[in-house]
Amino acid sequence: MILTVTLNTALDVTHHVPKLIAHTTHRVTAVTERPGGKGLNVARVLAALGHEVTATGFAGGRTGAVVRELLADSPQVTDALVPCAGTTRRTLAVVDEASGDTTQFNEPGPQISSAEWAEFLARYEALLAGAGAVALCGSLPPGVPVGAYAVLVRAARAAGVPALLDTSGEALRRGVAARPEMIKPNAAELAELTGSREPLQATRDARRRGAHAVVTSLGPGGLLAATAQGTWQAAPPRALTGNPTGAGDSAVAGLLSALTEGLDWPARLTRAVALSAATVHAPTAGDFDPRTYEQVRGSVTLTVHEGAGAARPLISPSRARAGRD
């Protein structure tokens, strides 16, 4: 079982409009509602890949009830969310069909009491006993200590469970110091953590801060990974247009699923990049387009970095996928 943690769960509402124009009224052509928050997106992709998943975090109020009702429609995802007195947040995405761009509005989340946080910790530690890996994802709702992810990483390490941390800001800085198995920031989050805007240097700097591996999202440039086994960059064959919401979460699912399956780093990165690209072509976060996934997986470019400013091609796409995925 793979455990996903979404402390700030959400009801993701996506509106599609023909063209988004400021200061005007819009006629919505389509609306979708999905259980959201980064960890729940990860959980759905993991389930689609055939993994047994348990999802925990907080859910409360009428919005939380809708999230849990919709989550029940994902049969391979077990609901282990902890009730809270506050109301689960909503996120609103508006997709401009003319340009393909998405505008996002994220609410802050419910206030979590100390008693609710203690109840969550007890649930989390119990769930770790049956987990092969854990994804710790997203923002912290009000009331949760800023060092929460550091606490969760340490608990995972004590239980012998590899933890992947995907958050930002001070929560990321403290979480890295607890030595997670992997972190997956984007370029802006990495620059904030390390003070460096050069991705290769920043990725290696972040690893020296405590993470065993650092995988950085470079948008259309794919993923850059600094690990104990080496440093690689994996990139899709071309930039894809569509809705990028949830693409990073699909990359997390790819990395974590490949880790639990014992795949090597080139195969992990190939899967993660292909899933991320396939999510851009999907209509909602937490989904991916299977055809795009297979097409991109067969043509990911992998490069090994031997030092700052030095790189060479690693392996061909066909060898990257042969016998590993």
40, 55 contact by CB (below 8 A): yes
**DSSP annotation of 147:** T
201, 187 contact by CB (below 8 A): no
* CA–CA distances in Å: residue 208 to residues 193, 194, 215, 229: 12, 10, 13, 14
pLDDT of the residue at 321:
34
156, 121 contact by CB (below 8 A): no
Distance CA(252)–CA(247), nearest Å, equals 9
Structure tokens at 308: 């700052």
pLDDT of the residue at 113:
97
- Catalytic status, residue 101: no
Q: Would you list the DSSP string of 203-272? A: HHHHHHTT-S-EEEE-GGG-EEEEETTEEEEEE-SS---S--TTHHHHHHHHHHHHHHTT--HHHHHHHH
pLDDT of the residue at 311:
45
pTM tops 0.85: yes
36, 9 contact by CB (below 8 A): yes
Consecutive 10-residue averages of pLDDT for the chain (325 residues): 96 91 92 91 92 96 95 90 96 85 88 97 97 96 96 97 96 96 94 91 92 91 91 83 76 94 93 85 69 77 65 38 31
Q: Which residue in 249, 264, 289, 325 is the catalytic one?
A: 249
